[in-house]
């Protein structure tokens, strides 16, 4: 069974600091990787996706992928109180199949 | 822009009752999904559909049924509700051609079985 593992947290980070969220996955054949943000009582919203090894930056967010280590991370620079949410890592086994496997999420709290 | 619309938002069911969660999308997406999310957990795929007339089981299909008679609608049927089906249910859709890998989620349906 495919597994996606995340530290459930809570992770507390001071405002303005860098928040680092980590995710490991079990299926070595996984092709695409996603980070979703979910506020309490709301539906998930996509922050970033990454396919290739290395870093992908979008504003204050950077996704990092290491397929050899089966590891994907999300860095949030200049953390803001509005970044306080649960962050879900999701993995897709191939590009033609959109069945995502989600981790349990990491709860992030930004301390003002 | 309506996006993905789910109804009802909240529902309390008694054990053994049945109900249908409605989901409709107005983006002409081929792919539609039903996920459930238990407290403090990630989302688990119940059923999905790659187009009208085509459905397939996800990770946790037992106790549920779906149909996809049109591109827009993807209702989820709960037969003989059990307390284990107490959860938040999310319908979602996407179309890789138009939206890349963005999956659009509905606002969720909170279901309690007592």
With a cut of 50, list the residues of chain A below it in pLDDT. Answer: none
Condensed to tens digits (0 to 9), the pLDDT of residues A24-55 reads 999 888 888 999 999 999 999 989 889 889 99
Cα of A33 to nearest chain B Cα, Å: 10
- Least Cα distance to A99 among B66, B45, B71, B42 occurs for B45
Q: Is the sign of the CA dihedral A101, A103, A107, A108 positive or negative?
A: negative
> Which of B31, B32, B43 is the mutation pick for testing A, counting most A CBs within 10 A?
B43
Between chains, do A99 and B90 touch, taking CB under 8 Å as contact? no
Cα of A91 to nearest chain B Cα, Å: 12
Condensed to tens digits (0 to 9), the pLDDT of residues B30-39 reads 899 999 999 8
Is the peptide bond preceding residue B43 cis, with omega within 30 degrees of 0? no
Q: Is B40:A104 a contact under the CB 8 Å cutoff?
A: yes
Between chains, do B31 and A43 touch, taking CB under 8 Å as contact? no
How far is Cα B18 from Cα B25, in angstroms, rounded to an integer?
23
Cα of A76 to nearest chain B Cα, Å: 20
Between chains, do A46 and B101 touch, taking CB under 8 Å as contact? yes
Condensed to tens digits (0 to 9), the pLDDT of residues B50-102 reads 899 999 999 899 999 999 999 999 999 999 999 999 999 999 998 765 445 67
Residue that is written with structure tokens 């998930």 in the block: A44
How far is Cα B90 from Cα A90, in angstroms, rounded to an integer?
15
Strands B64-66 and A19-25: unpaired
Between chains, do A98 and B103 touch, taking CB under 8 Å as contact? yes
Q: Is B56:B6 a contact under the CB 8 Å cutoff?
A: no
Beta strands in chain B (DSSP E): 4-7, 10-13, 19-25, 31-37, 43-51, 54-57, 64-66, 76-78, 87-94, 104-105, 109-113
């Amino acid at each position: 069974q495919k597994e996606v593992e995340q530290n459930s947290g809570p992770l507390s980070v001071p405002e303005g600091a860098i928040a680092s969220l980590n995710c490991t996955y079990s299926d070595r054949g996984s092709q695409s990787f996603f980070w979703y943000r979910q506020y309490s009582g709301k539906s998930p919203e996509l922050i970033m996706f990454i396919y290739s090894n290395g870093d992908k930056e979008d504003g204050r967010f950077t996704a990092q992928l290491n397929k050899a280590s089966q590891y994907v991370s999300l860095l949030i620079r200049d953390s803001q109180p509005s970044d306080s949410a649960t962050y879900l890592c999701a993995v897709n086994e191939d590009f033609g199949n959109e069945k995502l496997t989600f981790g349990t999420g990491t709860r992030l709290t930004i301390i003002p | 822009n309506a996006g993905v619309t789910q109804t009802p938002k909240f529902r309390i069911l008694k054990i053994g009752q049945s109900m249908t969660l409605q989901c409709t999308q107005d983006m002409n997406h081929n792919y539609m999904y039903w996920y459930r999310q238990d407290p403090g957990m990630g989302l688990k795929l119940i059923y999905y559909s790659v187009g009208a007339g085509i459905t397939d089981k996800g990770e946790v299909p037992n106790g549920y049924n779906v149909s996809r008679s049109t591109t827009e609608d993807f209702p989820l049927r709960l037969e003989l509700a059990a307390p284990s089906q107490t959860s938040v249910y999310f319908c979602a859709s996407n179309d890789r051609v138009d939206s890349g890998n963005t999956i659009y989620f509905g606002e969720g349906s909170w279901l309690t079985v007592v």
